Amino acid sequence: MIVVNEISRRLLTTICHDENEHCGDKPMQLIKILCVCTVMGLAANNSKADDAAAKRELVPTDKLRVAIAVAPTPSVFFTAKDGTTGQYRGVTVDLAGALAKKLGIPLELVPYANSGGIVAAVKAGSWDVTFVPVDEERRKVLAFGSPYYLLQSTYLVAPGSNIATLADANRSGVRIVAVKDTATMRASMRSSPNAIHTAVAGPAEAVTAVREGQADAMAFGSESLVKIASDLPGSRVLDGAFLNSTIAVAVPKDKQAALAYVRTFIDEVIVSGFVRRAFDNVGAKTSVVPPIGTNP
């Protein structure tokens, strides 16, 4: 719509400022202007119709249901329940609230233990939109829009471990713990096929496994691991990454009109600085917001 309006404005400017003609001097000029105005009106009506269709596809009920992953502390992906207010907070909660406000409807947050649980629930129709790490397995059931975060995953190694590099983690007998059914766990299994992988429900359980000596390494997002390491004396976060991906807005795969709507929404909140502020609110001040147009 913005693009069409800009084109129309330029056409009017050209008509009214031609070096050989003056706007209003000739009937032909008025006809040209009326034609341009008609194009603008039709474009506006078509845009409104497309917008309404996308909203109906995105929100089949009277509220926006957004799937979120819950953990002990909020991050650019995980949300946490505030002990005082009982409300969820985190970047995805902020994004969900902004999208519901744009749509002009109530918001319902649908909590899950991890991204795997979110994806597994898509066939049940339990949610309308979500924000999850992208990988090829998920493209089978999800359509991904614009990413809002550049994701890297690596290992946190237990205190006293002799694992110093990513290659060291790919040894027989190395015990790696990861959150089940996640892009990070699948990537870790590809990167370290010789290691023993154990799946757990969430990051808290993974940290416990490392702390109690049940795992030699934890596979997780790099920035989150830095925070975890500060609370686990003697642990280390390995340099490099075995997963380089993104976290993006997503809808069920067959909802292409809804996908276009949420893609535009993410582009808008990136340009406005909303995503940057949401990152800062959870302490992710060094997290990188990808430029619009980045492929998920």
Is the pLDDT score of 185 beyond 50?
Answer: yes
What is the pLDDT at residue 78?
Answer: 96
What is the pLDDT at residue 246?
Answer: 97
What is the pLDDT at residue 171?
Answer: 98
CB atoms within 10 A of CB 250: 29
Where exactly are the structural domains of the chain? 2-58, 152-243
Is the pLDDT score of 256 beyond 80?
Answer: yes
Q: Which fold has domain 152-243?
A: D-Maltodextrin-Binding Protein; domain 2 (3.40.190)
Q: Phi and psi of 252, rounded to 5°?
A: -55, 145
Q: How confident is the model at residue 31 (pLDDT cuts 50, 70, 90)?
A: low
Q: Average pLDDT, whole number, for the chain?
A: 88
Q: Which long-range contacts (CB under 8 A, 24 or more apart) does 117-121 make?
A: 117/69, 117/181, 118/67, 118/68, 118/69, 119/181, 120/181, 121/67
Is the pLDDT score of 271 beyond 90?
Answer: yes
Mean pLDDT of 102-107: 97
What is the pLDDT at residue 166?
Answer: 98
Mean pLDDT of 194-198: 99
When mean pLDDT is compared across 52-61, 99-108, 233-242, the lowest value belongs to 52-61
